[in-house]
A and B are shown apart, each in its own frame.
Chain A
Amino acid sequence: NAGVTQTPKFRVLKTGQSMTLLCAQDMNHEYMYWYRQDPGMGLRLIHYSVGEGTTAKGEVPDGYNVSRLKKQNFLLGLESAAPSQTSVYFCASSSILLAGDPYEQYFGPGTRLTVT
């Protein structure tokens, strides 16, 4: 049981290049999320998905696209990378949030992306 895994762990891009970050979870979770973390800013939600084939925008979606073709995978794409997208990217997954039930989001180890 690997939990939440992310690929790659590190990446350096040049401005204008594209890439895809892969998140995979083996806990049969319905919900998946992509966050970015910058110094002094905390974690900010980029996009999320409440089920296979569905995606929605979070707080900072511009410059990113996502897809959830399979329940266990959530892909984050950067079409034309910019230096402002230099950050640490975390993927997370969770079961459905229900009132009164325990709730936890499980995070992957992160991807450290530098755009030069």
Chain B
Amino acid sequence: RKEVEQDPGPFNVPEGATVAFNCTYSNSASQSFFWYRQDCRKEPKLLMSVYSSGNEDGRFTAQLNRASQYISLLIRDSKLSDSATYLCVVTHYNQGGKLIFGQGTELSVKP
């Protein structure tokens, strides 16, 4: 079983839709959590960190449930420019900053 698992999608949604991505992680020692975004054939870039209390950045909301080892990302009012692959990422302290990536969820926003 992979340490970080995501639904690979693809998710095909119309502009303006709300879409939610889910992610589960298996290592209870995981301590930091992130969502990265990767555009086609480009490098991953940090979208947002995920905090225990949940956090929001504009149209994006991230949630963490440590008891269930579950992370989510909600995108409201989807834009064409949101089309990308979203990567769920975890790491542990004292591990040299190693990131553990999920396989990514592909999102395609259509006009």
Interface residues of A (CB under 8 A from B): 31, 33, 40-45, 48, 50, 56, 58, 88, 90, 94, 96-99, 102-105, 107-110
Contact = CB atoms under 8 A, between A and B. Distances in A.
Interface of B: 4, 8, 31-32, 34, 41-46, 49, 87, 91, 93, 95-99, 101-104
A58 B98 contact: yes
Contact of B104 (A42, A48, A102): A42
A104 B8 CA distance: 23
7 contacts: A42-B104, A43-B87, A88-B41, A97-B32, A97-B93, A105-B97, A105-B99
Interface of B is mostly: loop
B97 A42 contact: no
A94 B49 CA distance: 15
A104 B46 contact: yes
Nearest to B99: A105
Given A99-B31, A107-B45, A31 B103 contact: no
Given A43-B87, A97-B91, 14 more contacts: A33-B97, A40-B8, A41-B103, A42-B4, A42-B101, A43-B101, A44-B101, A48-B98, A97-B95, A97-B97, A99-B31, A104-B46, A105-B46, A107-B43
Contact of A96 (B8, B43, B97, B101): B97
Given A43-B87, A97-B32, A50 B103 contact: no
A107 B103 contact: no
B90 to A, nearest CB: 12
A103 B95 CA distance: 13
Contacts of A98: 93
A43 B55 CA distance: 25
B102 A103 contact: no
B96 A102 contact: no
Given A42-B87, A97-B32, A109-B42, A56 B103 contact: no
